[in-house]
Amino acid sequence: MKFKLSFVLGLLSLNLFAEKIPAVPVKPKLVVGIVVDQMRYDYIYRYWDKFGNDGFKRLVNEGFFCRNTNFNYVPTYTGPGHASVYTGTTPSVHGIIANEWFDKQTGKYMYCAEDQAVNGVGTTSGEGKRSPVNNLTTTITDELRISSNLKSKVIGIALKDRSAIMPAGHTANAAYWYDGSNGAFISSTYYMKELPSWVQEFNKKELAKKYLFQPWNTLLPIDQYTESIQDNNNFEGYLKGETGPVFPHDLPKLMAANGGLNLIRSTPFGNTLTKDFAIEVIKNENMGRSGATDFLAISFSSPDYIGHTWGPNSVEQEDDYIRLDKEMAELLKFLDTQLGKENVLVFLTADHAAPEVPAYLKSLKIPAGYVDEGKMNYELKNFLKKMYGDTLVLSMSNQQVFLNHKVIEEKKLFLKEIQEVAAAFLSGFEGVAETQTAITMNSSSYTEGARYLMQNGYNVKRSGDVLINYLPAWVDYHHTGTTHGSPYSYDTHVPLIFYGWNVSHGSNADQVNITDIAATLAMMLNIQFPNGCTGKPISVLVK
């Protein structure tokens, strides 16, 4: 009896001290990734008092806000931005070095989502010849599909094709984007042979036309837009057919001169249309009900178009975000009703931010300015031709110079020398902070500062021979409205909020790279990191 008792106690002791094997955690039914195109970090606080309680405020007040999130490469453009969020790595690895780049193999320009091997579905225009083929790595959405033996449903949507395609990844069930030639959401044969019947029915509603058959006036009395400068100023662009950058914008009258139904992109109603379509995707595709975790990637493109035209201090941009807050509230409320907050994991970030309009800064006596990349290209070509007797510059784009390697080899010239001569010549232009050669990018390893970001954006096979960085607040752009692409915080600092399933409320100011999002999602979902991932999980979210 004594032996039996000690034996039982021994077994109990072993059991108590044995390592406990964790149960397989319950996963969310649906992940909703939201990217707001050209959303600066400060917009959350700048417009806080104008927001309702159920949109951006709800995300912040109930979610976890990573307040010090930055892009860790340049250039900060839409294509690379969406690719980096979802691959968890930088253009040096995933290869999407810009929205469009000079292809050294063909001598032509390559659009980031271009695929001549496919055709449009739902359109006869060239806007349908799109796919993720130029992305060299998997995305977190690809890894989700692979982990579930393709049971998880993944769909990407946006007005911009690249903003739908890059997040959806290579294995997506579908990606849909907007075609202004017919006012419809379209896809390509990469994903499907024909649009689902529900998409066709949605397109038949002609919502873009409906939204554009109304003037765009401010949602609030215009004197309440105290976070913006005066409506009529010299720092904003305006639509063709207008005489100034002022409200109201008579959209029905302006359509013909501004791309017809494409005009919706440059209005807050582009966000409304995107939200409408997102809700229909969730309902008609039964997102969150597949038995595996599904993933809907949404990108709101209109803030970028509005920022480019009117700039970050405009009443137009403030009105856009006040209205976007209401769209966000409606989407979150729909998710509550459809699946329940506890079953949906949401994250919100941006693909890049934006600088102040340099002309506006100059009016405040702040150093700023404009460079002329076309002039730089012209003068560099002539300079090198005088030195070496031949045209050695094939292209200058995205702040990079592409040299003619074939001619350099034929003339038995030294590539390193020409790169250095070109870099030194360009350094003399006003507004240029520094230049770096490709050979230096390949032979050095930077760990901080602009050179580190330049190196992360440099892809050996796709990038140019000389990289150029401008001074802070210097851009190659019009003297109205804004652009983006630099290594400075005004372009790299973006919001990042996680909300919903398994997310506790809080915030911190710890440094987070945009590439950490995919790594964090992989840990939360217990799946593989994307195969080129260089990001690290955000520890506070995966404890």
User: Phi and psi at residue 188, in whole multiples of 5°?
Assistant: -140, 170
- Best CA proximity match to 300, nearest among 271, 262, 268: 271
User: Phi and psi at residue 484, in whole multiples of 5°?
Assistant: -165, 170
Within 8 A by CB and 6+ apart from 107, the residues are 394
Residue appearing with tokens 């496919």:
118
Integer Cα distance of 491 and 494 in angstroms? 8
Integer Cα distance of 482 and 354 in angstroms? 7
- Give the DSSP H/E element, type plus range, for residue 433: strand 432-437
Catalytic residue among 69, 76, 78, 534: 78
User: Phi and psi at residue 383, in whole multiples of 5°?
Assistant: -65, -50
Residue appearing with tokens 């790594």:
519
87 is catalytic: no
Pair of tokens at residue 428: 């003399």
Residue appearing with tokens 């009105």:
319
Count of CA atoms in the C-beta half-sphere (13 A) of 323? 24
How many residues appear in the chain?
A: 543
Name 347's bridge partners: 33, 498
Within 8 A by CB and 6+ apart from 113, the residues are 79, 130, 131, 132, 134, 161, 162, 165, 166
Establish whether the linkage from the previous residue to 196 is cis, with ω within 30° of 0. Answer: no
CB 86 within 8 A of CB 529: no
Q: Is 276 helix (H, G, I), strand (E, B) or coil?
A: helix
Integer Cα distance of 416 and 420 in angstroms? 6
Integer Cα distance of 157 and 81 in angstroms? 15
- Pairing mode of beta strands 64-70, 493-494: antiparallel
Residues taking part in catalysis: 78
